[in-house]
Amino acid sequence: MVAFGGGSIMVWGAFSFRHRTPLYHIVDNLTGQRYRDEIVAPLVLSALHQIDVQAVFQDDNATPHRARLVNNFIQQAGVTRMNWPACSPDFNPIEHLWDELDRRVRNNHPPPRNLQQLLQFLQIEWQAIPQAFCRKLVNSMRNRTAEGIAKRGGHTHY
């Protein structure tokens, strides 16, 4: 969720070493059914097929992500899903991509006049983030995981 003085916008996106999904604007509350129908089916499955048949899907433990109908759909689609520890944002590289997106919007644009303009700035900067930045995040996963295990789930330097 990205906030500005007049409200906030929720967006979804995913990335891999070589690919990035479009930034998807989530209007209203995201339910499990909406997550399946608007994000997993059209965006996640497409992205995973572009990457590799053995790609692993990583999402977090947000309630819509773990809804039974989402779990069933992902399993029926033959998608391998990474088990995800609770309360572990240090492990999730997308959090660092969100931080980068926020920095880029704040540094490269005037304060948005409205939510539509904020969404426009987010979409522009999402596309402008170099894929090399995403590769760096993917390459950091082994070290993130090792440090998280060594710190027994405590905060890491990531």
- pLDDT, residue 28, reads 94
Query: Which pLDDT tens digit goes with each residue over 67-86?
Result: 999 999 999 999 999 887 77
Query: Which pLDDT tens digit goes with each residue over 55-68?
Result: 899 888 899 999 99
Beta bridge partners of 3: 8
When pLDDT is cut at 50, 70 and 90, the band that residue 40 belongs to is: very high
Sign of CA dihedral 10, 124, 43, 92: negative
Q: Are 45 and 39 in contact (CB under 8 A)?
A: no
